[in-house]
Structures are given as structure tokens and as C-alpha cells.
Structure 1
Amino acid sequence: FPIMHTVILAGGRGRRLAPYTINFPKPLVPVGEMPILEIVLRQLHGAGCDKATLAVGHLAELIMAYFGKGEQVGVDLTYSSEKQPLGTVGPLALMNDLPEDFLVMNGDVLTTLDYRALYEYHLQHDADLTIACHRCTTKIDLGIVEFDERLQVTGYREKPRLPYDVSMGVYAFNRRALDVVPMGEYYDLPTLVLKLVELGRKVKVYMSDAMWLDIGRVEDYANASSVFEEHRKLTMKILVIGGAGYVGSVLTTRLHEQGHELTVLDSLVFGSQSLDNLKGQERFELIEGDLRDQELLDRTIPGHDAVCLLAAIVGEPACNRDEATAEEINLHGALKVLETSKKHGVTRFVFTSTCSNYGISDPNAPATETSPLKPLSVYSRSKVEAEKAILASADENFVPTVLRLSTAFGISPRMRFDLLVSDFTLAAYREHKVVIYGGQFWRPFVHTQDIARAIEMVLNASPDVVSGEVFNIGGDGNNVQKQELGEMVKEEVPDTTIEYITAGTDPRSYRVEFSKAKSQLGFEPEWSVRDGVKEVYHCLQEDRWSDPKDARHFN
């Protein structure tokens, strides 16, 4: 990942937040048990920011005494002091050690914005300035009349909610943008934006639906603690069981980048290399062990806010090799984790199930969460039985959610080449030939990054939305027939031929509908199946894996 440097504007007097800020700098005002600025810095560290400059002014000595050089938050801190107010942009012109691209943000913003995604979007578009924006709505308590120049009424809306887009107080800069800023003079962000636009420079918007709080007024601060608690994403302690696996390693990295405290419990059958990027970091612990070990569960689970249960013997071939062990882990082990989580006061429980529970479905009537389940294998039967107990466990203190995942694809630190998208792409790359059994059969697909996003959304959702609920995770556009997938691979990987074989041992064929996740969680996949083919092909060309056929890449 590109290194991120962030400038945090923490020099204001916070007059609107008086009396809290009379003898106390606003960035040190606590939300819950932690100062606003400490929350921000811990999030930035999780997103890969290794250095930050604090632009300080009012009561700077207190901020500097509290944070020092940044050891407690994992970020190398330096300070820039302004002798007189210089606005939001003026201080930047005085900083000589800024890299070519960097983030700038207000020190009183609480958000679940993906800072890394903002930064990479900015780099991708080679922008002079990128503004993170949030869509808000306001309710008009009157009837709104619309009419044309002839005073002819064209519309009428009773108490409408009108949308508008606001700056989140988080920006990505290129140093080019500072060329227009006078040295040592007061200069604010709106002035800079308008000047850049006037000069025809590239100013981009990055839209985000992340939780966002601007703690500028007393009423904002009074509301912040309750909202902050509701959106516990900023401070949750999460146990990911199976966190070293194909999906688990992607999820664990994402949640850690968002500032969570992570524990991974994994049997490490395929090793722990998938978590090398997290080993030794703060807020991360790796425990090797088996989810069937009750004593281990009783030691590990207490103190966690959420448990994400991903661990399983995954897929029909792996389960068929030892059906008894598969049922012991996928069903009885899952129930043991469920009961222990509830016993020790865990509030959120996310269980990853599978869309293969639908078995065979009518392609003209995609399966919904209420469709009959027709499990055709040991794997899906164990998942269906576990689902029943998990959904029945919901109560006012325990919020379980089941996610029926589409067939996964995408790059992962613990890469798999036994899944259709990567399997077909590897065959095309190495053998220039893809053999397809049952090309007419349907499958839904979803990228590992999208799965991680969906789990994150569930953890952050209101209990009323997710407690005791099942969600299909994928996208309508990613329902693909195997022959269609083969054609995509042929188009993306040169010199590929396809051989179709009618006979096959896998009878599953199902299309799935995903509107519930979209309407209730706001989830839509960002990756298409074709994107996944391109991604794997690109990584193969770069020799990302020394031997893609190594046994560790196959379940």
C-alpha cells in the first residue's frame, strides 16, 4: 500500500463548543472514554497512516503533552504551530516536509470513512484536491410548490426530504494545490476550492455513506456519545474465528484498518502467512486452536463485543473426504461457539453460511431468503442446521445474523485456486484451455472484499435491522452461468479455448436475489465477475504466487 501522511487541523479555539473548551482544547474532549483526536489517530493508524502532522494553536501544550511523539496511537507525530490564525489551508503552506500526496482533516470529525480508499481514489485520479462528501437530507415542514416561468404549477411535494452533499472535513491533497496559497496568510478551504476550479485544476469528489459526525456545537457533542455507541464500529473488540482463511484474512485486515481490536482464532491448517501483515501490530492477537476446544473458547471469547464465525470445512469435496469431521466442525462446533458467545456476553454474532443451501432453483425465479432450502451435500446440510439454532438464539441482548454467501472469488492473502473464477483463469493462463462441466448451470458470485464489506455493515447496523435475520450476499449482475464465466475468461486471457463436457458430478444450479441486503443494509457489490477474472490474470502475470498449484491453495 502507498504510505499515507495526514495533516490534522487541531488549532481552533472551539468557541462553539464552550464551556467545554474554555480551558481544554477541543481535540482532547472525550467521546466515551477516549479523546476525539485519539480515536481519529487510531483509525488512521489502522488505515496505514504511519505519520501525521498536528497543526496546533489554542492550548497546544496540552495536546503535545497528551500525545507526545505518538507512541500510544502507533503514528509518528510531529507538530506545526501557528502564531496567528491561518485558516484551514494557510498552515499547510508552512509545512516543508509534506509528501507529494497527503490527507488533510479537521480534528473534530468522527467518521467511519475508509481513509485508505479515499487516498487511493485520489491517487488513481491524479487530482489536485479530492473532497470526501456525505449525502444528507433535510425535511421541509411545508408544502413545496413547483411552477414554470408562466406561473403554471408543475408539481407539488408535501413536506419533502431534500438531499444535499456536504464536505466531511476530510481531504486528499497533491502539493500542486498549494501553489496558489500565499505564504503566512489566512487562507481557507472554500477559497482554495474556488480558486482551483477557476484555474481549471482537477478537483474531485469522493462520495461516502459512512457514519459521520462533525462535533462543532454543544448539541453535536451531547449527541455524539450516543451515536458513537450505536456505531460501535470505531471501538469494537472482535473475534474472527477462521480469520486466517481465504475470506477471513481479508476481513481481518479490513476490520483492523478501520481501527478495531482484533483477535483471530484459527487452526492454521494452511499456515499463518496470510496474517503476516498484522503480526506484531497493536490491537491484534493470533491464537492457534480448534473451535471444538471448549476450554479454549471459554478463555478466548470473554471480553469481545462481536464474534464472526467463518471457520468451517468449506465446500463439498473437502466435506466428502471426512463427513463425520465436517459435521462435527461445521455444525456441532458452530453451536458450541454460539452457546459460549452468548454465555460470555457477546452482543453481535455473524455466521457465514452459503447460497448453495438453495440447491437447485428455477433460474427464472431467483432464490430469496424465504425460498425453500434444498441442501444437496454434507456441507450445505450442516450449514442449514447451524442456521436454525443461530437464528433462534436472538434476544434483546444477543444479535445474531446469518449471511448466505455467493461463491467467493478475488485475491486473498490465503489464495485459493479451487474456486471457479480463479480456477478457470489459472487454467486459461497456464494451459490455454478451460474445461467446463455443466456449462448451463447457474452460480452467484461475490468478491472477498465485498464479503468483508457486508460483514462490516452488519456489525455496524442497528440491531433492529440485523438481529435474527438472514441476508443473501452477492449481486444480481453476478449471477452467471458457468459457460458465461468461461467466455469471460476467454475474452480476458489471450489464446484460450473452451471444452464443454455435459456430464458432471455437481448437480447444483441456482440463481439468487439480493434485494434484501441492498434495501436493509445498503449493500451492493463493488466487484463484478469480470473484474475478478482481470484481477487474477493480472496477478498471475506478475508472478504473485510462486506455485499456484501448490496444495496450500486448495481446500
Structure 2
Amino acid sequence: MKPKKKVLITGNLGYIGSVLSGYLIKKNFIVKGLDVGYFKKCNFNFYKNDKISQSIKDIRDVNFNDLKNVDIVVHLAGLSNDPLGELAKNITNEINYKATVKLANLAKKSGVQRFIFTSSQSIYGISKISKELDEYKSVKNPITQYAKSKMKSEKYLLRINSPKFNVIIFRPSTVFGVSNRFRSDIVFNNLMASGFVKNEITINTDGKPWRPVIHVKDVCNALYAGIVAPSKKVNGQIYNLGIVGGNYTVKQIALNAKKAMNNCKLKIINDHKDPRSYKVSFNKIYKDLKPYYAPKYTLKEGGKEILSFFKKIKFSNIHFKGQKTNRLVRLKYLIETKQINKKLRFNTK
């Protein structure tokens, strides 16, 4: 019997990491978590992950001991979207880029076999073409500090990739679905939350911008595929992470939320323009990672799941607008209450 492989998940106490931990445990991996703990208390206890060896540590402080006996690293940790990235631009570079470089170098020296990095489709910037964007040929135009940090990280990781240190990069679509650390600041979750709390779904734009979306469990399935697929298939590869048919306009996403909410009101305000509009191709991930990657969750299933979750936890406006489900609100609260400083480090007594 082969010994179990040990996976280090950075950012395991985040939205995706909270689901991925249990997913990999069920797949018979030994899971170690490393997380700074910003969102540790934003927990709904929907899933139980008792079999994790947990380290509460800033990713900027990672060292060799954190990688002892680790076979695979799944690197999720970082300031996780454009608004968070703009909160402290220089710190975003420190956390998302410099810490990634440090972690990857330590991982390679420690004998880690695979390094799986979650990048972002934000690196495509503002797309002015209707054609679906692919991983290599499509123009990259990162605009925000968050997107720039992800792009720089991708380039560095591919430079240190080798036959013994496999680098696999995923660029996820906007994620939706239930997690222990649910987020209501991402598009479908936000629209569902609005419908549940206010009985009205509000779109501030005209609803025409395109957004690719994917369920959090399908993200976990893709990361698992990156772990188990043959090296010759995935080594040094970049994948847009999404599902066929997963490109929607914001209005189409809202209509799915409206249907899941038993046809509550839909209001299109159209009081500002959103230049971010892009459709993404997922041909490569289906081609390379078949049969390991088998996504199956649509907005319909996701809507039913989220509605059930809301009812179970008695989701309220406090949840919807508060720090428990809004990452930027949470970080600002930690700063205002002097729990973390301007460098986004926890203050020590």
C-alpha cells in the first residue's frame, strides 16, 4: 500500500481552502493548513475538518519547517481579489508576489514534487473582443495591483519549473457556492444574498458585462486533478478554470438567482458602467485533465444549495453586509480595531 501524500494548503481558512481541505481528506491525503487567520472567525461550521494539522502563520514568514515532509503545495493564500489588492498596493505585492516567490523556492529546495498555484482571470484585464480568451494567445493586460501580482507570480513560477518540481497554474473563474467561510462579496453569492435578505436582486450596471463563473466544489475538483494527473500532462501548464457553458452576462447570473429565489424582484439600476467584461475558453482544461477534471455544478444547483444554506444558518442582513462574509469589510475592521497594522500583520501584545 502506497503511503499517503502530504498536501500543504496555504490559505486553508479562506473561502476555497475551507472546502478544499475536506475534499482532499476524503481523497485520502494528509492535509496541513497554513493561514494567517484574518478570516478564521468568519466560520459558519457548515463542514467539519478535524483531521487537519493547522499552522496560523503569515505567508510572508514561511520557512523550511513548514514544508517538512510535504509532497504537494496548493498555494491559495493571498489578498484574494481586486478590491483587497487596492487596499494596500505595496503590501499586495509583498503578500501575493514576494511571499509566493519565497514559498516556491523553499518548496523546491525541500523536495516538494508539485506546486499548484491559483492565479486569476483578472490578468486578462479589460477585454474589448467578444472572442473567448485562451491561456496563451490572448492578450494579458493586468490593470490592478492584484492582477499584476498574479501575473508576476506566474512568470516566476514557470521559470523555476522542472521535471522534479512540477508547477501547475490555474486561473479560476469567479467562484460561487457554499463554504464554511461563505463570501457574499462575489457575484452570484451576492445576488443570491440580496434576493434572500431584501427579496430584491439589484444590478448596478446595465447587466451586459460577461463573467465566467464556477462552483467552489468544481474548483476543488480541478485542484485535485492538478495533483493526480500525470506529470507529462500538467507540468508547466496554465489552465483557465471553469466549466463549458460557464460564461454568463451579469443579467443572466441575476436571472438564475431570481429563479432560485422563487422569482423575487430584479432591479437593474444602470447608474454606472463596468468596463470588466470577458468570456473565457475552457477547452484546454477539459482536453488535458480529462478524466480527472469533471465539473458538474451549474448555477441552478448552486442556487438551490445556497438557498438551503441561508435557511439553515438564518442568513440575515448583518451577514450580508457585515465582516463575516465581506473580505474588505473584515480587513478594514481588523485595521480599525488595531488587531492588524498597516502592513496587514497582526499586532503582538
Please list, as runs of the form range in 1=range in 2, the aligned pairs for 1:268-417 lying within 5 A after superposition: 268-271=37-40, 273=43, 277-279=48-50, 281=51, 284-293=52-61, 296-362=62-128, 364-370=130-136, 371-417=138-184
User: Is the alpha carbon distance of 1:277 and 1:534 closer, same or farther for their aligned partners in structure 2, counting shifts above 3 Å?
Assistant: closer
Please list, as runs of the form range in 1=range in 2, the aligned pairs for 1:215-254 lying within 5 A after superposition: 235-254=4-23
**Of 448, 453, 462, which aligns to 2:221?**
453
Runs ≥4 residues deviating over 4 A = 272-276, 544-547
Gaps of 5+ in 1: 1-30, 35-234
C-alpha distance in 1, partners of 2:249/2:263?
21
* 8 Å contact kept, 2:126–2:276: yes
* 8 Å contact kept, 1:355–1:404: yes
Give the % identical residues: 28
Q: Deviations over 1:323-379 (max 9, x none)?
A: 111111011111111111111111100000111211222563100111111112111
SS of the residue corresponding to residue 551 of structure 1 reads coil
Alignment TM-score, normalising by the size of structure 1:
0.55
* 8 Å contact kept, 1:313–1:326: yes
What's the CA shift for 1:495? 5.0
What's the CA shift for 1:278? 2.5
Please list, as runs of the form range in 1=range in 2, the aligned pairs for 1:46-61 lying within 5 A after superposition: none
C-alpha distance in 1, partners of 2:129/2:247?
10
Partner in structure 1 of residue 288 of structure 2: 520
Number of aligned residue pairs = 319
* 8 Å contact kept, 1:244–1:274: no
Q: Deviations over 1:137-174 (max 9, x none)?
A: xxxxxxxxxxxxxxxxxxxxxxxxxxxxxxxxxxxxxx
Q: Which has the larger radius of gyration?
A: 1
* 8 Å contact kept, 1:245–1:274: no
Partner in structure 1 of residue 195 of structure 2: 428
Please list, as runs of the form range in 1=range in 2, the aligned pairs for 1:132-211 lying within 5 A after superposition: none
SS of the residue corresponding to residue 402 of structure 1 reads strand
User: Is the alpha carbon distance of 1:264 and 1:505 closer, same or farther for their aligned partners in structure 2, counting shifts above 3 Å?
Assistant: farther
Partner in structure 2 of residue 481 of structure 1: 249
* 8 Å contact kept, 1:406–1:446: yes
What's the CA shift for 1:493? 1.4
Code of the residue aligned with 1:380 in structure 2: it is A
SS of the residue corresponding to residue 161 of structure 2 reads coil
- RMSD, aligned α-carbons: 1.8
* 2:323 is the counterpart of 1:551: yes
What's the CA shift for 1:252? 0.8
Moved more, 500-509 or 515-524: 500-509
Q: Which has the higher contact order (CA 8 A, sep 6+)?
A: 2
Q: Which has the higher strand share?
A: 1
**Of 300, 308, 311, which aligns to 1:541?**
311
Code of the residue aligned with 2:132 in structure 1: it is P
